[in-house]
Structure 1
Amino acid sequence: METSRNPRRRTLLALTAVTATLSLATTACGGDAAGEAKSADGKAKVTVLRSNGAIFEPLYIAEQQGYFKDAGLDVTIKAGAQDTSQNAPSVLNGEAQFAMTDSSGFLKSAAQDMPLRIVTGLQSATTKTAPTDGLLVKKSSSIESFSDLEGKTVGISALGGTIQFICEYLVQKDGGDPKKVKFVALPTTSLTDAATSGKTDAIFSFGPFYAAAKESGLRTIGNGMNDLPGMVQGVLFSSQKYLASNGDTAKKFIDAVAKAITYANAHPTAVKAIDKKYTQVPAAYIDKHDTNYYDKNLDTTVMRTVITKMHEFDLLDKEPKDSAIYWDQAPTSGGE
């Protein structure tokens, strides 16, 4: 179990190690991590690393509906790191061309000037649907609001990312002090047990795991990330080097994902079938609950709020500029 109130030092050390590893990998590969491989039938070969928890469903829908194939792509989908911000090395050294992470996880890399760019969104917080993530406690817990988390321990899937950020943001918004909250990193599948057993005072879960946690008897507080509408929750990113050399392929890839997002929002049964196959949540829970609402759009105004607050909470070493975050063909908007 990894614990931290302030993961900044650990993040800086990890990114320093990543940089050294990438230097060695680039040298070993002759300095070219952006070349485009082709399948036997001439399709561009692409590997994408997904998350282990949720929001990856459009990738499999694009595969199942033939959107990748129709775009001339031979796509391999693989499970990435538990902490998706750690997928960056695989993208930078060419082991994968695209990877998923949460927006805050990406911003940690951008703040270190790593040559990565977001190519598309996958999901953003919205008031259009009921929350699919949020804070949960035992019914008998004395915690009634986010400010009550002061002095308490909260279990989350990874330190320093979007989930830790939204917890700290909502604690501050509720009048509490985020610095007085302790966060512990646990496997997503273990979060519910951590709360019910008293290992943690609260957890912040998401997707089908959130639904299952509620069904198990845990009590929700607030509306999760929907309390900051427009906050980007899941993204796909690539390396600048790959995008510079393979922009046409990258555009075909994100267009296929966009089609899959539209399909996913219109066909929840297809999403649930994927969740049954690739998550450990019981099928009965999946059948009884609504699916995620997917969104390719990247609200740069809300993202700037996230950046400013992450820096204030000491989750970012500095505030990266927009030019260090988005690919120039990514579906961005300035917000309302």
Structure 2
Amino acid sequence: MPKSTRSTVSTRTARSPFRSLAIGVVTLAVAAPLAACGGSGASASAGSGGDGPAKVTVLRSNGALFEPLYIAQQQGYFKAAGLDVTIKPGAQDTSQNAPSLLNGEAQFAMTDSSGFLKGAAKNMPIRIVTALVSTNTKNAPTDGLLVKKSSPVERFSDLEGKTVGLAALGGNIQFMVEYLVEKDGGDPGKVKFVALPTTSLTDAAKTGKTDAVFSFGAFYGAGKEAGLRSVGNGTNDLPGLTQGLLFSTQKYLSGNSATAKKFADAVARAMTYANAHPDAVKAVDKKYTQLPAAYIDKAQNAYYDKSLDTTVMRTVITKMHAYGLLSSTPKDDAIYWDKAPTTTGG
């Protein structure tokens, strides 16, 4: 959809969070030289050299899909790999985790494919290490558009002129809504987006603060449990879309390749365990989300997969650029770590 078709209101609303992205870019401009000069001490404190386990800090998302990180810690996979891993909550908008990596506060961070691409499009020296969760058609949707049962929104093209609440603007979810509106014959430039805390999405739709919300993970199921109606199949309508991934800096990966590989392998081992032991995933959710235990017990878990579908990623890049969500279209060698588990599908 040509950028010129966007209404003034939707463009202003959807793009306003990029002020914070611009601030992040300025921060990176300052932080990157510090890292290059060794001012952060990242390689010394988190590398594979020296006595004892390599210290690694990873920034997780605040919503969902971080469960394999805790499982790798609980099952001793990190320890067995010679790693001392600290897991911390990252930014609400996970695309803003990049500055923390570039200044050495952490070595790995979570985001989604779109969140990562916003940094890559700005030529930030970051690379995807592994996927955590990607969409597939094997499981029922674990995310999607939610509206009140009485809402006139029956399909994505009905969102023209409507307001949609998202956990963060400019990422996978906004891209997906715009993609599905266009696919349904609508104009994505006529949809207004607002950012809300993940835990407030259900109430926003129920009270009419927004016409719809796009929720995910356990919060999506909780919204349906609260009486909201789903429209479409969420991100399952684009199989292979990476919903959760771990990334690092090019500098860290170059200087600490062995440590990074051990970390990625331990997380992959935890993904396999998580898929085979759903109760372990639910135990993590009970501890680190604000959802009722009774709901978590009956909610569907995500399916974890380390594979990165480069074909689907290229579709995301092309469409995000068309929607004005990316300033450029980064090439594959500026996206993936050379040891990342990539595949060609789509």
For the criterion TM > 0.5, the same-fold answer is yes
The one of 9, 13, 22 equivalent to 1:4 is: 13
- Tell me how far 1:288 sits from its aligned partner: 1.2
Asked if structure 2 preserves the Cα contact closer than 8 Å seen for 1:36 and 1:246, the reply is no
The one of 81, 84, 94 equivalent to 1:84 is: 94
CA distance in structure 1 between the partners assigned to 2:33 and 2:129 by the alignment: 26
Structure 2 residue runs of 5 or longer lacking an equivalent are 1-11
The one of 247, 260, 279 equivalent to 2:289 is: 279
Residue correspondences, number: 334
Distance 1:116 1:28, change over 3 A: closer
- Tell me how far 1:290 sits from its aligned partner: 1.1
Distance 1:263 1:67, change over 3 A: same
Q: Give the aligned residue type for 1:4.
A: T
- Tell me how far 1:13 sits from its aligned partner: 1.9
- Tell me how far 1:29 sits from its aligned partner: 5.7
- Tell me how far 1:222 sits from its aligned partner: 0.4
- Tell me how far 1:99 sits from its aligned partner: 0.3
The one of 102, 105, 125 equivalent to 1:115 is: 125
CA distance in structure 2 between the partners assigned to 1:7 and 1:276 by the alignment: 34
The one of 296, 299, 321 equivalent to 2:331 is: 321
Aligned residues: CA RMSD: 1.8
Asked if structure 2 preserves the Cα contact closer than 8 Å seen for 1:117 and 1:237, the reply is yes
Distance 1:260 1:23, change over 3 A: closer
Identity, % of aligned positions:
71
Distance 1:44 1:27, change over 3 A: closer
Segments of 4+ moved more than 6 angstroms: 38-41
The one of 140, 150, 154 equivalent to 1:130 is: 140
Q: Give the aligned residue type for 1:175.
A: G
Q: Give the aligned residue type for 1:320.
A: P
Structure 2 residue 150 is the aligned partner of structure 1 residue 140? yes
The one of 318, 321, 325 equivalent to 1:311 is: 321
CA distance in structure 2 between the partners assigned to 1:220 and 1:179 by the alignment: 22
TM-score of the two chains, using structure 2 as the length reference? 0.93
Asked if structure 2 preserves the Cα contact closer than 8 Å seen for 1:7 and 1:160, the reply is no
User: Partner of 1:157 in structure 2?
Assistant: 167
The one of 69, 76, 100 equivalent to 1:66 is: 76
CA distance in structure 2 between the partners assigned to 1:209 and 1:125 by the alignment: 17
Q: Give the aligned residue type for 2:213.
A: I
Matches for 1:90-109 after TM superposition, within 5 Å: 90-109=100-119
User: Partner of 1:14 in structure 2?
Assistant: 23
The one of 267, 287, 298 equivalent to 2:277 is: 267
Please state whether the residue corresponding to 1:212 is helix, strand or coil. helix
CA distance in structure 2 between the partners assigned to 1:162 and 1:46 by the alignment: 27
- Tell me how far 1:14 sits from its aligned partner: 2.7
Asked if structure 1 preserves the Cα contact closer than 8 Å seen for 2:47 and 2:256, the reply is no
Structure 1 residue runs of 5 or longer lacking an equivalent are none
Asked if structure 1 preserves the Cα contact closer than 8 Å seen for 2:24 and 2:99, the reply is no
